[in-house]
Amino acid sequence: MLRLRLQWPRLFFLTFLGFHSCRFNGVPAEERLHWRSFLVKLGADNLKHAKNEELFVASHKSVYIVYTVLGDICLYVVGKDEYDELALAEAIFVITGSIKDICKKPPTERTFLDKYGKICLTLDEIVWKGILENTDKERIKRLVRLKPPTEF
Amino acid sequence: MADSSGTTLMDLITADPGPASSASGSTANATPSSATASAAASQSPSVPMTTTSSSSLGKTILGEKKSKRATLMQIQNETISAAKAALQPMKTNIMPQKQKKKPVSYSQLARSIHELAATSDQKSSQKQLVHHVFPKLAVYNSVDPSLAPSLLMLNQQCEDRTVLRYVYYYLARILSDNGAQGLSTGGGIPTPNWDALADIDAVGGVTRADVVPRIIEQLSAEASNVDTEFHARRLQALKALTYAPSSNSDILARLYEIVFGILDKVADTPQKRKKGVFGTKGGDKESIIRSNLQYGALSALRRLPLDPGNPVFLHRAVQGVSFADPIAVRHALEIISELAMKDPYAVAMALGTSRFKTGALQDVLHLHDVLARVALARLCHTVSRARALDERPDIKSQFNSLLYQLLLDPSERVCFEAVLCILGKYDSTERTEERAAGWYRLTREMLKLPENDSKSSKDKSQKTRRPQPLIKLVMRRLESSFRSFSRPVLHAAARVVQEMGKSRAAAFSVGLTDIDEGVSINEFADDDFNENPYADGARKASSMSGSTGSKETIASLLASLMEVVRTTVACECVYVRAMVIKALIWMQLPYESFDELESIITSELSDPAWPAALLNDILLTLHARFKATPDMAVTLLEIARIFATKVPGKIDADVLQLLWKTCLVGAGPNGKHTALEAVTIVLDLPPPQPGSPSGVTPVDRVSASDPKSALALQKLVQAAVWFLGENANYAASEYAWESATPPGTALMMLDADKMVAAASSRNPTLAGALTRLQRCAFSGSWEVRIVAAQALTTMAIRSGEPYRLQIYEFLNALAQGGVQSQLSEMHLSNGEDQGASGTGLGVLISPMIKVLDEMYRAQDELIKDIRNHDNTNKEWTDDELKKLYETNEKLLDIVSLFCYVPRAKYLPLGPISAKLIDVYRTKHNITASTGLSDPAVIATGISDLVYESKPAPAESDGLDDDLVNAWAANLGDDGLMGKSAPAMSRVNEFLAGMGTDAPDVDEENIVSRPSVGYDDMWAKTLLESSELEEEDARSSGSSSPDSIGSVETSISSHFGGMNYPSLFSSKPTSYGTSQTSERSGGNRYGSSSSIYEGASSPIREEPPSYASSVMQRHDSFENPMAAPESSSFESEDESRRNTSGNPQFGSALYDFTAGGDDELSLTSGEEVEIEYEVDGWFYVKKKRPGRDGKLAGLVPVLYVKPR
């Protein structure tokens, strides 16, 4: 039965990259269950004593996973094709950077949820339909404020 | 469930962080509704992980650790009222301040949006939207379409940028195509299927279909607005539009129109990137706006489906390469590189004319965007390898040199991509030649810096940088990467080394046969092995140039690299270590000593941290390695043995079996014995350690410490026994239909001891296997014993005398019991009651003995008849012949129930009967295969050929005896065992049939694995076309060890196999290959290849359909790429449930109260639709929400009766 739960107080934050080329736009619903339990287990095995922003890597077939811990948040980025470990490491770096900027410091569960709306918008600018879009922090900030990407 | 702990997610969300809260509040009437809804707070199962919007992957998922019961109930109870509210916004303001701590329900949020949208001109309501309503709404994983009107209103009227940004965000989420399945796709708290709810509430329901056209209308109007002040919004509108379902061609056409409309305006004035740099601040406003629009348009274009035939599409993308915005350039390059795969010529022409002159592609090298450079690498690779461009070597070399320059890239990502491209690694379809050529390139070619640089840089480069051999650059880079502390970098570097190994293996295998490639094996041997492997000094010599220089060094470079790779095994991350081991396996060559590798693996395996899935992955690497280099069979089997002995509990019996099988088939005549020995090692696994908990059942001889691994080991033993039974004859090349000994003489030798001695002297391989099986038949656990008995029967039927007699005697003894004391000293009590018959196998064995009895009796009679006829010198009458023939057919039928035999050749009555039966056949014009059994023969109408002559040797899957035999042993999937064929081509062809076998072997439900052989396929196909009882089909892998070997199922499944041909022969045209191959061997090959079509590339480590089950089984994890085809290999019933085409329905037998978030409450008698099954649970959907207000969730299998 698939009812794994996080065993320690951490939120679970997951991003998929590069799955656009599948027939399903993204990960089919029933596989998400498996993904979730796989990743939760991965995290439970490895993230217990991890330092903030220490990168971990895993792979399954040709899918790569890079994950890390940021305060109370477990961040997972899953990718394939051109999004290999290194590209994912870059993506996760951008994401953690933005989250830290928004929450001011490594987020607790509370601050993370307080800022959740803004985090969603930010992520919306970083990843767009499964393709990595913006990586430049200033640019992301401008776009979240509905300003043009390059100012004049 | 656990609602014990304090704050819930909702509390966190709703507790107001700042003073702004005063303005907010929750609706007064929220309390009662939320309070009621009962126990079964459930959530649709995919909730907490999910991506936000299905089409948009890159979104978030917000799971939380605590129960979300309260919120869920609210959602469900109030959605309908929310939907109503959408239409008739309430006038009563309902925001008492006091209830701050109450969770904000979805419907409250929805209502506030409607209200605040109406008053959006006021500062306070804007503030509230931005700080409270929108952020909280984001926590829900989808957005109700009924919000769309209010959002659109906000979009038109509101001025506040933050509000607008949120509005675009939510509109995009409504647009994205996910509501259909009713499964949550967004992150966070689950929401119901809005469309379904809207259907229920016929009055106020708003579905996506209603609002999507309106949203698109408004957004496209915005996206076409040319007002410069508006262009930021224009970009966002365009972005939101790309989320619209791309399946709708109207919308798509419209999107193309908008995007190209923008590009028409902005793309045509070429601007140098320098200009942008120069005017970053306060510069040319117009050009900046233009570049922003270029960016927006290209990003949108990248999300739209490719349009390969469209010249405008290509033209715009090519223009994009020289845009000022780096991300626009990246998208342009990505689009071009994808187009290049389809039509390299057009792309090269489009690029060649303008871009090289202006240096746009060169500029990308200095672009500060890693992915842009990665895309450039891929583009260069595609173009420089394109066959279509063979007449234009100039273009090719331009792209090639660009690719080589990317090796110097400061980013590892780009450098590695370039290495992989050079190595010929490209998407998943790999070709050995391409790989081999890749290795050749890497080791031979030089990086010459381009001459078209500006003069100054040219001078410099000539002074400071001389041409470097690629290999040296790569090695240096890799070595420094291996010193990194970052796990992703280590993992990636190990992966690159693995790919190098693959290309190297390909180069070797091609070098053996294909000299046209220009790759000579001798050269390689010189380079790699005749050098002092530790000539480090040579490596450091900075000035080596020319091929002679590189000749000195490749070996030493590799040696020092491998040294670094080995040290990486010390990394604490298991995945990195796994990748390193894979790399080592690939870099291993057949004639190198593998002691080091062996010791590394041995020590690694004693680490309990290894997950089973990863170990199996490595086993599959062994498998792939074998395919690339069949010579490695012995080495690889040796490594596999380490796995079997060290971690028997973790490896998958099926994966191991696959490896055995592959090695057995591919190893050639000499390797067969070794391969079989490797299998038997499993049977000789060390006895349990004293004091281990499994001491009670020493049968397994496990060192497995927990029940799970004990079980796994048991399975392993079963697999080994089964494998032995199926394949011993093949390995020993001993077949009844080729036996030298006539049955008569064997019957004379009734002295068992002499018989055994004679047998083992004649064929030690078979005798050895026989002994092992005999031991298993009485000393194993009951599952093993059953399988062993079956295996013995198979061997008895297939082997000639004296083996058959030997087994016959043994089986008889076994059935009567008391063999144990008689046969050996092994009194291994397995703690079970052995039953009255000694081994408890009596019931099982008796049909088997009966068959053998029948055969012997018939043989006796035949001999008697022949004597009579000879004595009386009488001709055989037609009736007598007919009787004989009928007996023959009857016996064939019976025998076929137990195992496969080639019907046309097999003579249950012994070799003497051959002539008589032949006489009868010719007289009555009966083909050897008699209708049913050998459809291919009938279909092709060349049955005579089958008997008289062997077909031309050119046909690789022709009538080679070895083929028939291999095939008989269920090994001949390849059907290509031409003895004289060079090893590589044999394996390649073998791969065509077999490579894809891999995926199925470790399916979740092993019972019906296709690897068992064609008769299962037959049975399956039969099932699909004509509805045979499902039970039988499920056990169609009867001969597999897992189907606890009940004879009944085995018989019925073989019936399936036997019956199939009639179906089959009725439409022979559907199997193309059967035309050329006379025997159903080829025929079968045809059918199997048609099933496995398109997955025949050699050296592929991970065939795409190699689905997920390794993980699934152990971690309940599924490969996200397991395409739908993989489901076709799943067990009958599961695939049946999976296919969305014909959903399975069922009704609830009992009431069931959901015990967890993802479960669903049932009322007995309720109708449900079964989506799929997981571990004893059905995922079902209901038409209307039940007690818990949910529409879908998990329920125990036993609670639902499928129809």
Write down the ipTM of this complex.
0.87
- pLDDT at B1089 exceeding the cut of 50: no
pTM of the model: 0.63
Neighboring chain A residues of B255 at a CB cutoff of 8 Å: none
- pLDDT at A100 exceeding the cut of 70: yes
Task: Look at residue B459 in the predicted model and tell me its pLDDT.
Answer: 41
Q: How many residues does chain B have?
A: 1203
Q: Which residue of A has its CA nearest to B238?
A: A128
Q: pLDDT digit string (tens) for B160-177?
A: 888 888 888 888 878 775
B122-136, B351-365, B655-669, B1100-1114 — which one is most confidently predicted on average? B122-136
Task: Look at residue B288 in the predicted model and tell me its pLDDT.
Answer: 81
Neighboring chain B residues of A141 at a CB cutoff of 8 Å: none
- The structure tokens 């715009």 sit at B316
Neighboring chain B residues of A88 at a CB cutoff of 8 Å: 488
Check the CA dihedral B134-B137-B142-B148 and report its sign: negative
Residue B49: which of A28, A35, A66 has the nearest Cβ?
A35
Task: Look at residue B764 in the predicted model and tell me its pLDDT.
Answer: 72
Distance from CA of A89 to the nearest CA of B (A): 7
- pLDDT at B828 exceeding the cut of 70: no
Going by pLDDT thresholds of 50, 70 and 90, the confidence category of residue B41 is very low
Q: What are phi and psi of B5, to 5 degrees?
A: -70, 155
User: How does the average pLDDT of chain A come out, rounded?
Assistant: 75
- The structure tokens 């450098």 sit at B415
- pLDDT at B1102 exceeding the cut of 60: no
CB-based contact B9 A113, cutoff 8 Å: yes
Report A:79-118 residues touching B (Cβ under 8 A). Answer: 80-82, 84-90, 109-110, 113-118
Q: Tokens for B1157?
A: 């978030």
Q: Tokens for B840?
A: 């408890």
- pLDDT at B492 exceeding the cut of 70: yes
Task: Look at residue B527 in the predicted model and tell me its pLDDT.
Answer: 41
Contact (CB, 8 A) for B48 and A36: yes
Check the CA dihedral B827-B832-B838-B842 and report its sign: negative
Contact (CB, 8 A) for B160 and B126: yes
- pLDDT at B123 exceeding the cut of 50: yes
Q: What are phi and psi of A121, to 5 degrees?
A: -65, -40
- pLDDT at B648 exceeding the cut of 60: yes
Task: Look at residue B986 in the predicted model and tell me its pLDDT.
Answer: 39
Distance from CA of A42 to the nearest CA of B (A): 10
Specify the higher pLDDT residue, B692 or B900.
B900
Residue B55: which of A26, A78, A121 has the nearest Cβ?
A26
Going by pLDDT thresholds of 50, 70 and 90, the confidence category of residue B518 is very low
The answer to whether A19 faces chain B, any CB pair under 8 Å, is yes
Residue A11: which of B64, B302, B1124 has the nearest Cβ?
B64
- pLDDT at B637 exceeding the cut of 50: yes
Q: What's the CA gap between B621 and B655, in Å, rounded?
A: 11
Q: pLDDT digit string (tens) for B352-402?
A: 766 555 667 777 777 778 888 888 888 888 888 777 777 777 777 778 878
Instruction: Kindly state the helix (H) or strand (E) to which residue B892 belongs, with its residue range.
Output: helix B878-898
The answer to whether A37 faces chain B, any CB pair under 8 Å, is yes
CB-based contact A117 B292, cutoff 8 Å: no
CB-based contact A127 B48, cutoff 8 Å: no
User: How does the average pLDDT of chain B come out, rounded?
Assistant: 63
Nearest to B1079 by CA among B1198, B942, B919, B921: B942
Going by pLDDT thresholds of 50, 70 and 90, the confidence category of residue B1131 is very low
SS3 B706: coil
- pLDDT at B485 exceeding the cut of 80: yes
Task: Look at residue B240 in the predicted model and tell me its pLDDT.
Answer: 85
Q: What's the CA gap between B477 and B228, in Å, rounded?
A: 48
Q: Which residue of A has its CA nearest to B575?
A: A58
Task: Look at residue B1040 in the predicted model and tell me its pLDDT.
Answer: 37
Task: Look at residue A18 in the predicted model and tell me its pLDDT.
Answer: 53
CB-based contact B1120 A25, cutoff 8 Å: no
Neighboring chain A residues of B43 at a CB cutoff of 8 Å: none
Q: What's the CA gap between B918 and B924, in Å, rounded?
A: 10
* Mean pLDDT along residues B1069-1088: 35
Task: Look at residue A147 in the predicted model and tell me its pLDDT.
Answer: 81
* Mean pLDDT along residues B666-671: 65
Report A:46-65 residues touching B (Cβ under 8 A). Answer: 46, 55-64
Check the CA dihedral B407-B494-B666-B900 and report its sign: negative
Neighboring chain B residues of A63 at a CB cutoff of 8 Å: 1119-1121
Sequential DSSP letters for B1077-1093 = -SSHHHHHHHHHHHHST
Distance from CA of B1011 to the nearest CA of A (A): 21
CB-based contact B375 A127, cutoff 8 Å: no
Going by pLDDT thresholds of 50, 70 and 90, the confidence category of residue B37 is very low
Task: Look at residue B447 in the predicted model and tell me its pLDDT.
Answer: 66
Q: pLDDT digit string (tens) for B1188-1199?
A: 777 788 887 777
- pLDDT at A93 exceeding the cut of 60: yes
CB-based contact A117 B135, cutoff 8 Å: yes
Q: Which residue of A has its CA nearest to B615?
A: A60
- pLDDT at B470 exceeding the cut of 70: yes
Q: pLDDT digit string (tens) for B948-962?
A: 333 333 333 333 444
Contact (CB, 8 A) for B488 and A89: yes
Nearest to B699 by CA among B712, B687, B709: B687
Neighboring chain B residues of A36 at a CB cutoff of 8 Å: 46, 48-50, 63
Nearest to B68 by CA among B153, B1, B144, B8: B8
* Mean pLDDT along residues B411-435: 77
- pLDDT at B1147 exceeding the cut of 80: yes
User: Chain B interface, mutation test: which of A4, A94, A141, A152, most B Cβ atoms within 10 Å?
Assistant: A152
CB-based contact A34 B235, cutoff 8 Å: no
Q: How many Cβ pairs closer than 8 A exist between chain A and B?
A: 301
Specify the higher pLDDT residue, B1131 or A127.
A127
Nearest to B140 by CA among B191, B68, B201, B199: B191
Q: What's the CA gap between B539 and B553, in Å, rounded?
A: 6
Q: What's the CA gap between B261 and B258, in Å, rounded?
A: 5
Q: What's the CA gap between B708 and B694, in Å, rounded?
A: 11
The answer to whether A127 faces chain B, any CB pair under 8 Å, is yes
Q: pLDDT digit string (tens) for B695-709?
A: 333 333 444 455 666
Contact (CB, 8 A) for B938 and B927: yes
- pLDDT at B234 exceeding the cut of 50: yes
* Mean pLDDT along residues B244-273: 75
Roughly what angle, to the nearest 10 degrees, separates helices B653-666 and B707-732? 20
End-to-end CA distance of chain A: 56
Specify the higher pLDDT residue, B554 or B562.
B562
Specify the higher pLDDT residue, B798 or B452.
B798
CB-based contact A129 B65, cutoff 8 Å: no
* Mean pLDDT along residues B248-262: 83
Task: Look at residue B959 in the predicted model and tell me its pLDDT.
Answer: 36
Going by pLDDT thresholds of 50, 70 and 90, the confidence category of residue B87 is very low
B419-433, B572-586, B1108-1122 — which one is most confidently predicted on average? B572-586
Task: Look at residue B1090 in the predicted model and tell me its pLDDT.
Answer: 35
CB-based contact B282 A152, cutoff 8 Å: yes
- pLDDT at B111 exceeding the cut of 50: yes
